[in-house]
């Protein structure tokens, strides 16, 4: 279960952009508490405290007991706004928590027993598909994390939501798909590429048969002998023959 933290706040009378800017000039952050069947309540928070909590992590999954001028109520942050240039917190929205109610929360996934995983021992790579899982959880018992055990996971094997033991009272918001949370992929091997060699094509000729005119000869074979030239005609005798 997530730890409940205490947060001091002060009631804020003005609303709107002008009142919000005035609150920031005083070194405080404008915020609002809504839900739970009551009307929205504008409050202000210490800037340095909120800035530290946001950047410490798990801000949106932590339950806070807000003390507004002596009146305490349990809330959970639902959203916050940051300055686009300086990343300073500008505004925070809190949701009231009532006993017995449920809400949707993105719960982080934590992996254990990596050293015992057969797939990781063989050099496989851990491929995390989902770092958080959206769950419907009891408002007063929000879990800190979903635990996934990797001790029996081998190469090409995966862990789906159906194979994970969820905290009591929690269930995934996506109940139609048995989605994948993590898988172990095979190690990347170096593949040597061999350049293809062109094979020479030879024309086979039946033994004893003359090669067809213009047919290519086998590699290394001697060129065919040239046909003997026809004999030149004898020269005619000069002068007339004697009778």
Do residues 14 and 29 share a domain? yes
Q: Is 199 a residue whose pLDDT tops 60? A: no
Q: Is 194 a residue whose pLDDT tops 60? A: no
Reduced to 3 states (helix: H, G, I; strand: E, B; else coil), residue 19 is helix
Position 229 in a domain: no
Dihedral pair phi/psi, residue 10, rounded to 5°? -130, 145
By residue range, what is the domain housing residue 151? 103-185
Q: What's the total number of domains in the chain?
A: 2
Do residues 112 and 67 share a domain? no
Measured from the Cβ of residue 182, the count of other Cβ atoms closer than 10 Å reads 20
Q: Tell me, what CATH number does 44's domain have?
A: 2.40.240.10
Q: Tell me, what CATH number does 125's domain have?
A: 2.170.120.20
Mean pLDDT (whole number) for 229-242: 53
Q: What pLDDT sits at residue 231?
A: 56
Distance CA 129, CA 218 (A): 60
Q: What pLDDT sits at residue 243?
A: 45
Mean pLDDT (whole number) for 176-195: 74
User: Which residues, 6 or more positions from 32, have their beta carbon under 8 angstroms from its beta carbon?
Assistant: 40, 41, 42, 43, 91, 92, 93, 94
Strand partners, 76: 95
What does the mean pLDDT of the chain come to?
81
Q: What pLDDT sits at residue 13?
A: 80
Distance CA 136, CA 3 (A): 18
Position 177 in a domain: yes
pLDDT-derived band at 189, boundaries 50, 70, 90: low
Position 216 in a domain: no
Q: What pLDDT sits at residue 230?
A: 55
Position 241 in a domain: no
In percent, the amount of the chain with pLDDT more than 90 equals: 49
């Amino acid at each position: 279960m997530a730890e409940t933290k205490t947060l001091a706040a002060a009631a804020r009378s003005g609303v709107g952009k002008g009142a919000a800017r005035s609150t920031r000039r005083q070194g405080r952050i404008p915020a609002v508490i809504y839900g739970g069947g009551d009307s929205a309540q504008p409050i202000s928070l210490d800037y340095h405290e909120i800035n530290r909590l946001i950047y410490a992590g798990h801000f949106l999954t932590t339950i806070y007991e807000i003390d507004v001028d002596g009146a305490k109520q349990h809330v959970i942050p639902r959203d916050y706004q940051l300055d686009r240039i300086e990343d300073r917190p500008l505004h925070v929205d809190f949701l009231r928590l009532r006993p017995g109610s449920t809400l949707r929360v993105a719960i982080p996934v934590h992996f254990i027993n990596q050293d015992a995983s057969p797939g990781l021992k063989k050099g496989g790579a851990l491929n995390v598909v989902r770092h958080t899982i959206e769950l419907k959880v009891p408002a007063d018992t929000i879990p800190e994390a979903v635990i996934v055990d990797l001790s029996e996971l081998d190469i090409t094997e995966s862990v789906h939501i159906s194979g994970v033991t969820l905290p009591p009272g929690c269930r995934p918001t996506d109940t139609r798909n048995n989605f994948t949370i993590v898988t172990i992929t095979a190690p990347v091997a170096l593949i040597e590429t061999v350049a293809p060699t062109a094979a020479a094509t030879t024309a086979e000729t039946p033994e004893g048969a003359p090669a067809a005119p213009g047919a290519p000869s086998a590699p290394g074979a001697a060129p065919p002998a040239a046909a003997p030239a026809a004999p030149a005609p004898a020269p005619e005798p000069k002068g007339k023959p004697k009778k």
